[in-house]
Structure 1
Amino acid sequence: MTERDDEFTLYDLRVECVEIRGQDVASYEVGDYFEVHGEELVFPEGQSFSLYALSSLLPLLPAKQRKTHDNDWMTTDTIVSGPDPNVGGRFEITRTRERTFSHSDVSGTNRT
């Protein structure tokens, strides 16, 4: 296997709270964000992020990292609601750049 055959690309993501429509009782505020770089969640220094909001976002992140068809809703729909309808938190998931990875660097599975 050549080195090129071992590579794949993922998008880096920025996940940001863009709106709170209801009661302002969440532990996040408009403007709070984190980034996804490969398998890593990256938080700004000193900023935390709600476990409950994170739990509603996590299932979408691996799919958002991958190339999708221009008409796929995973490409076009960027706003996700938080888990508490009384808070009404809304989060925008933005693809920020492409990053190249090597399969052998991120998987214990030997591909021969």
Structure 2
Amino acid sequence: MTSPRNDAFTLFDLRVEVVATDRPMVCNHREGDSFTLRGENLAFPPGQTFPLYPLAALLPLLPAKQRPTHPNDWMTTDAEVACPDPHCGARFRITRIGSTTFRHGDVTLVPLPADPDRHG
């Protein structure tokens, strides 16, 4: 009898925090505003809002920051992202704050391939 294949994988938990610069912030965020990302879930502190347009600019980067990357990859070394409004001085610091392990079968209905060496 074969043992079931391990379908676990780990993603980094992230914290995104608004960082002030020497330029004024013009969007609806304040220094220290933040949110966390664990798996696919964003969590905001009670009563805090976050503007849509900076969030939209950050969203494509977050799944890449959740995954292990090569030490020389810019996704590993660069932690701050500028606000997409060219007139706003805010930056957003993305920090890996921990990790969470998930199981393939808990996050998708697509089965793993029968051959573990086959990708696709």
TM-score (norm 2): 0.86
Deviation at 1:71, TM superposition (A): 1.2
CA distance in structure 1 between the partners assigned to 2:39 and 2:13 by the alignment: 7
Name the aligned partner's letter for residue 70 of structure 2: H
Q: Distance in 2 between matches of 1:28 and 1:51?
A: 10
Q: Higher helix share goes to which structure?
A: 1
Structure 2: unaligned runs, 5 residues or longer: 115-120
What SS class does the counterpart of residue 59 from structure 1 fall into?
A: coil
Aligned equivalents of 2:67 and 2:4: distance in 1? Answer: 22
Percent identity over the alignment? 53
Partner of 1:88: 89
SS at match of 2:61: helix
Indicate the structure (1 or 2) with the bigger Cα radius of gyration.
2
Secondary structure, aligned partner of 1:85: coil
Displacement of 1:20 after TM fit? 4.5
- Judging by fraction of residues, say which structure has more strand: 1
Instruction: Deviation per CA, 1:54-86: give whole Å up to 9, x if none.
Output: 011001000000001111110000000111010
Q: Which runs of 4+ in 1 moved over 2 A?
A: 20-25
C-alpha RMSD of the superposition: 1.4
